[in-house]
Amino acid sequence: MPQATPAEQDDSAALFSFPAVHRKKVTAAFDGGRLTCDGGVLLLAQAEREMGLCAQLAACIADPRDQSRVAHKLDDILRARIFAISCDYEDADDLDALRDDPGFRLALGKLPGSGTGLASQPTISRWENAPTTRELARMMKAMIGVYCTSYPMPPEAVTLDIDDTCDVVHGYQQLSFWNGHHGERCFLPIHVYDTATGRPVAMLLRSGKTPTGAEAAGHIRRLVRHIRRHWPTTRITIRGHGHYGRPEVMTFCEAHGVDYVLGLPTNAVLRADPEIVAAADHCATKRAITQAPALRHYAETRYGAKSGKCQRRVAARIEASTLGLDIRYVVTSFDDKAGSAEHIYEILYCARGRAENLIKMHKSQLASDRTSCRLANANQMRLILHTAAFWLMWRIQQVIPKGTALASAEFATLRLRLLKVAARVIESTARIRVAFASACPDVAVFRTTASALRPAPT
């Protein structure tokens, strides 16, 4: 149990020195009292309490322990792990160093100077490996529910970006597979985002091979089914690159009233299409005559695979440059009323580029590619925990006042400016005071954020 250390000079503490400053001797000792370098974890705690995230995830997992002898409730175990991920402690090992951190103790509703600390690394690791496949499916369903309930009212329409990303494995783990395109043994987890608002929707760990049309259609079918339970009348549009421009995906979407804007891999039929050939020749000729470095044209046609039963609208982006012709295709369920081929490609399809930025934040700023467990279920559990951390960071991002410097900041900046804030925790008989640094440059934003996340009085 941690001992209270007063925030005052302690002659018994071992002193060490630094070079003098203006002829004044500089000495130091580890006697500053209960200090934390993660004072902003209290903001995470308020965001999590508002969303009820960990309680929903914990309810999906069977807990066979004797509850009368439990020291750490399951939702507290998940809460500690998710808070640690948000504060850039990506490994369960880090929890051993954070067990008695006063900021984390307060965030989990524990007194800073008494009682048991946070769950240890072995406890965290056991629960990362505990959920069964069915329980993980329930947790993923719960995460989709978190997404839907994050809207105060069902939206009239949403566009969901689906994409996979290379997650290099740390050994010969379950589901690891050699991918020739990436030149790595990897996973290719699927990420789904509501890109217009930056909300995460679903994350699924899967093998490192490209998904087949049947597999992609199955994932989209389950996703749409869960969303429809919350939003039966919302118009859903699926947007993705060529991995998802498969006949099975388009057939499902058409049968269930789901719109789509999908990349379409090129083939001999498309390359020989008269409309595309004529537009490409015109574009190349005009570029050569004008000596422009590059020139873009757009064309559209109707295309259906031999195995398909209908012709679908295809928009082609044709770019002629000094390097030759480059043609990209997009297939869509939208008719001519939705706009021209240029609008379909440039406005509707290219907007999915933001989803790639969200994936980068998920991986590089929340370390969601730290899927180093041997078992696939444990790695899926980690992906869920890192997505929960994404939700908390997103919630904090939303309440930052517009017009401030941090309003459009990414998660790494928010962590540095709002979470990694030093504080002294002072506990007395009647109250606990958290004393943040007087020189904190983001006092106003921190105070406003904390007030916005404070629960309404009941």
Confidence of residue 115 (pLDDT cuts 50, 70, 90): confident
pLDDT given for residue 457 in this prediction:
56
**Tens of pLDDT, residues 233-262:** 999 999 999 889 999 999 999 999 999 999
Residues 98 and 156 in one domain: yes
The whole-chain average pLDDT of the chain stands at: 91
**Mean pLDDT on 346-358:** 92
Q: Are residues 187 and 318 in the same domain?
A: no
Average pLDDT on 297-320 reads 85
Mean pLDDT for the stretch of residues 416-420: 94
**Does 221 fall in a domain?**
yes
* Residue 282 predicted with pLDDT over 80: yes
Q: Is the pLDDT of residue 375 over 60?
A: yes
* 73 falls within a domain: yes
Over 70: is that where the pLDDT of 456 sits?
A: no
Highest mean pLDDT among 80-89, 108-117, 163-172, 421-430: 80-89
pLDDT at residue 57 tops 60: yes
Query: Is 193 part of a structural domain of the chain?
Result: yes
Q: 126 and 224, same structural domain?
A: yes
Residue that is last in its domain, among 332, 360, 385 = 332
* Domain C-terminal end among 280, 304, 332: 332
In the prediction, which pLDDT does 307 show? 60
Residue range 90-114: mean pLDDT, rounded = 90
Mean pLDDT of 328-351: 92
Range from 75-84, 136-145, 398-407 carrying the lowest mean pLDDT = 398-407
Dist CA 280 CA 273 (whole Å) = 11
> 23: buried, middle or exposed (CB in 10 Å: 19+, 13-18, 0-12)?
exposed
> What does the DSSP 8-state code read for residue 234?
-
Same domain assignment for residues 45 and 118: yes
The Cα–Cα gap between 129 and 379 comes to: 8
- Is the per-residue pLDDT at 2 higher than 50? no
Residue 339 domain-assigned? no
Q: Are residues 151 and 266 in the same domain?
A: no
Q: Which amino acid is at 96?
A: D
One domain, residues 164 and 83: yes
For the chain, give me the number of helices (H) and strands (E)?
A: 16, 16
11 — pLDDT class (breaks 50, 70, 90): low
Cβ neighbour number for residue 325 with a 10 Å cutoff: 13
The total of structural domains in the chain comes to 2
CA distance 194 to 201: 7
Is the domain of 433 the same as that of 380?
yes
Whether the predicted pLDDT of 215 surpasses 80:
yes
| 102 and 160 assigned to the same domain | yes
SS (H, E, C) 361-429: HHHHHCCCCCCCCCCHHHHHHHHHHHHHHHHHHHHHHHHCCCCCCCCCCCHHHHHHHHHCCCEEEEECC
pLDDT confidence band for 4 (50 / 70 / 90) = very low
Using alpha carbons, list the distances in angstroms from residue 445 to 30, 103, 407, 418. Answer: 31, 19, 9, 8
pLDDT at 351: 92
Q: How far apart are CA 404 and CA 358, in angstroms?
A: 21
Question: What band does 308 get if pLDDT is binned at 50, 70 and 90?
Answer: low
Give domain status of residue 1, yes or no. Answer: no
Residues 194 and 314 grouped into a single domain: no
Question: What SS3 class is residue 200?
Answer: strand
Residue 37: pLDDT above 70?
A: yes
Q: Return the percentage of the chain with pLDDT > 70, whole number.
A: 95
Question: Domain range spanning residue 292?
Answer: 260-332
Is 303 inside a domain boundary?
yes
Q: Which helix (H) or strand (E) holds 452?
A: helix 443-453
Q: In this structure, is residue 15 part of a structural domain? A: no
- The size of the chain, in residues, is 458
Poorest-confidence range of 272-281, 299-308, 322-331, 368-377? Answer: 299-308
Rounded mean pLDDT of 378-398?
Answer: 96
Q: CA nearest 329: which of 340, 346, 343, 345?
A: 345
Mean pLDDT within 298-312: 80
Q: Which of 292-296, 297-301, 452-456 has the lowest mean pLDDT?
A: 452-456
Does residue 226 lie within any of the structural domains?
yes
Residues 55 and 164 in one domain: yes
Same domain? For 435 and 294 the reply is no
Average pLDDT over residues 207-211: 92
| Final residue in a domain of this structure, among 300, 332, 364 | 332
Residue 320 and residue 190 share a domain: no
